[in-house]
């Protein structure tokens, strides 16, 4: 982990060393219990290797921390997010309603691990460790949909998003579509599909998200190739809300969308 995430990562390593030594275990003894070599434990504690989620989960069990180390890792991953993305993460986490329009990809909150990894790996500039960090950070965001009293989440995607499956990708997409259908069994989650024969529509200008907080106010988010933008001005938010309504009105119903997803899966299996 780099940049703003480094202080939190250093704190995790310090806590790990403190907990291990307090428990009276050498690195070799501790390594045997968590199924890692002593040299690997040393490398992780010294920052010579990136923090490993599986290792920290096992460390939490052995040291009976109540999940402290994995929780700190989640904080580190959030700190490692680009500064322009953090305001949206805060808005998303505290939202009572979420709206998402995606003309090119499955929304991040509904992605499977394999789909998320495949999408993130499209950036050849990322190391394997960075890819995995981003995958885990994306999956952690999804926990807000299964927490007690979750926000209402409504997504709209273009039909072409479901049918984008070149050679070697169909199995991944079948898994993703099955996951989508299962996700829609939750009453607070909805997904609607804009049919491919709709033609031109206002949503083709790009994806965007909206979050409504407990105070009733809306915040918008638009992501681009390089960065993203959080908007909370009255005029900008009103424009996004109006565009959301136009896009949503042109999409299939929840039931029709589920039937279409099942139809696509059947055609590929």
Show me where the domains of the chain are located.
7-79, 83-107+144-267
- Mean pLDDT in residue range 186-206: 88
Burial of residue 215, with CB atoms counted within 10 A of its CB: 0-12 exposed, 13-18 middle, 19 or more buried: exposed
Q: How confident is the model at residue 72 (pLDDT cuts 50, 70, 90)?
A: confident
pTM score of the predicted model: 0.72
Structure tokens at 226: 């390089």
- 143, pLDDT greater than 70: yes
**Which CATH number is 83-107+144-267's, of 3.30.870.10, 3.40.50.720, 3.20.10.10, 3.40.50.2300?**
3.30.870.10
Mean pLDDT lowest for which of 9-13, 20-24, 71-75, 80-84? 80-84
Mean pLDDT lowest for which of 67-71, 94-98, 236-240? 67-71
14: left (phi over 0), alpha (psi -120 to 50) or beta: alpha
- 147, pLDDT greater than 90: no
The pLDDT, as a whole number, for residue 4 is 41
Please tell us whether the domain made up of 7-79 is placed in CATH 1.10.260.40: yes
Structure tokens at 76: 């580190």
The pLDDT, as a whole number, for residue 106 is 95
- Mean pLDDT in residue range 10-26: 90
Nearest to 257 by CA among 189, 207, 202: 189
The pLDDT, as a whole number, for residue 33 is 93
Higher pLDDT: 48 or 191? It is 191
The pLDDT, as a whole number, for residue 211 is 95
Q: How confident is the model at residue 2 (pLDDT cuts 50, 70, 90)?
A: very low
Determine the Cα–Cα distance for residues 191 and 60; give it in Å rounded to an integer: 37
Contact residues for 180 (Cβ-Cβ < 8 A; gap 6+): 106, 110, 191, 261
Does this chain's domain 7-79 share its CATH topology with 83-107+144-267?
Answer: no
Mean pLDDT lowest for which of 29-43, 68-82, 91-105, 205-219? 68-82
DSSP string, 193-223: EE-GGG-S-GGGG--EEEEE-TTS-EEEEEE
Q: How confident is the model at residue 96 (pLDDT cuts 50, 70, 90)?
A: very high
Determine the Cα–Cα distance for residues 121 and 154; give it in Å rounded to an integer: 27
- 80, pLDDT greater than 70: no
CB hemisphere CA count around 57 (13 angstroms): 4
The pLDDT, as a whole number, for residue 24 is 93
- 129, pLDDT greater than 90: no
């Amino acid at each position: 982990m780099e940049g703003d995430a480094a202080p939190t990562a250093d704190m995790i390593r310090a806590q790990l060393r403190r907990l291990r030594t307090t428990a009276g275990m050498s690195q070799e003894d501790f390594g045997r219990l968590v199924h890692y070599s002593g040299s690997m434990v040393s490398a992780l504690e010294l920052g010579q290797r990136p923090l490993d989620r599986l290792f920290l989960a096992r460390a939490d069990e052995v040291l009976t921390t109540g999940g402290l180390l994995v929780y700190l890792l989640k904080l580190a991953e959030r700190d490692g997010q680009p500064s322009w993305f953090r305001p949206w993460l805060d808005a998303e986490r505290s939202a009572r309603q979420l709206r998402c329009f995606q003309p090119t990809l499955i929304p991040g909150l509904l992605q499977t691990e394999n789909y998320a990894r495949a999408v993130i790996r499209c950036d050849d500039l990322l190391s394997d460790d960075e890819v995995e960090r981003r995958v885990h950070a994306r999956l952690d965001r999804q926990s807000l949909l299964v927490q007690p009293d979750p926000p209402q989440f409504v997504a709209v995607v273009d039909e072409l998003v479901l049918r984008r499956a070149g050679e070697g990708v169909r199995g991944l997409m079948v898994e993703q579509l099955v996951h989508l259908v299962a996700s829609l069994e939750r009453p607070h989650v909805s997904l609607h599909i804009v049919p491919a024969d709709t033609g031109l529509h206002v949503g083709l200008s790009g994806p965007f998200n909206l979050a409504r907080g407990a105070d009733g106010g809306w915040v918008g988010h638009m992501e681009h190739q390089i960065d993203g933008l959080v908007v909370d001005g009255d005029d900008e938010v009103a424009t996004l809300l109006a565009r959301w309504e136009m896009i949503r009105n042109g999409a299939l119903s929840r039931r029709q969308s589920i039937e279409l997803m099942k139809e696509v899966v059947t055609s590929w299996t």
